[in-house]
Amino acid sequence: MTDIQHLFEPKRPAARRWHVIDEIDLVPLLSEHMRSEQLCRRLEKCADALPELPDAEEIEALCDALDAQAVEQASREDALLDALFGAEAEPLADTLLAYVRAQHVTFAVQAQDILAVLRPHAVDRGPCAATLGYMLRCFFDGCRAAMAFEKLAIRTLAEARLTSAARLLLDNRLQARCRVA
């Protein structure tokens, strides 16, 4: 299993925050979200094909992607959120960011559960298709909702600090998500 203990450690506030948030400042986060969406599509394809599982090579690639994206992504996103909002002391900011971080922990744990079912030693036992389908759907549906919430939280917390280009970028991503859903 992947170590996720670092996700439970308290975060240190950033020494300073940016006064203005431009679209280039959001690119790392939105890139993470794009990779997560690609992973969600792969997991959804796997869930749709159940009770048939992909071949062993595809399962291993899927497990590697799930491990890298769902577990390691949280640290990268948390670092960006700390840089954007770490010095904020407002209760709303603390509450919203705590919720985002809690979602990161939730998805890391869910990813580990899915990995335990999909890894080669577990596939030999033949995972229950209904259970695996439920696990996969909970993961990718929740992940998509959490990404939208994270964008909304940034949009809300950084409203006055967002440039018009950054605001438009977030709005376009949120609207695209709403059209898909």
* Helix 23-49 × helix 129-157 angle, to 10°: 160
- Number of structural domains, the chain? 1
Expressed as residue numbers, the domain containing 88 is 23-180
Question: Looking at residue 74, what is its pLDDT?
Answer: 81
Is position 8 within any domain?
no
Is position 15 within any domain?
no
Range with the largest mean pLDDT of 65-74, 156-165, 172-181: 156-165
101-148 tens-digit pLDDT: 999 999 999 999 999 988 866 555 667 889 999 999 999 999 999 999
Is position 5 within any domain?
no
Question: Looking at residue 15, what is its pLDDT?
Answer: 40
The residue behind tokens 């439970």 is 8
Is position 12 within any domain?
no
H helices within the chain, ranges in order?
A: 23-49, 56-66, 72-85, 91-118, 120-123, 129-157, 164-180
| Residue-averaged pLDDT of the chain | 84
Question: Looking at residue 168, what is its pLDDT?
Answer: 95
Measured CA to CA, the distance from residue 112 to residue 49 in angstroms comes to 21
Measured CA to CA, the distance from residue 46 to residue 133 in angstroms comes to 8
Percent of the chain with pLDDT over 70: 83
The answer, yes or no, to whether residue 181 has pLDDT greater than 50, is: yes
Is position 3 within any domain?
no
Question: Looking at residue 126, what is its pLDDT?
Answer: 66
81-99 tens-digit pLDDT: 888 887 556 888 889 999 9
Distant-in-sequence, close-in-space partners of 64: CB < 8 Å, separation ≥ 6: none
Is position 112 within any domain?
yes
What confidence category does residue 1 fall into, taking pLDDT thresholds of 50, 70 and 90?
Answer: very low
**Tokens matching residue 169:** 């970028």
Is position 13 within any domain?
no
Residue 53 neighbours by CB distance under 10 Å: 17
Is position 90 within any domain?
yes
Q: Which residues of 126-151 are buried (b: 16+ CB within 10 A; e: fewer)?
A: ebeeeebbebbeebbeebbebbbebb
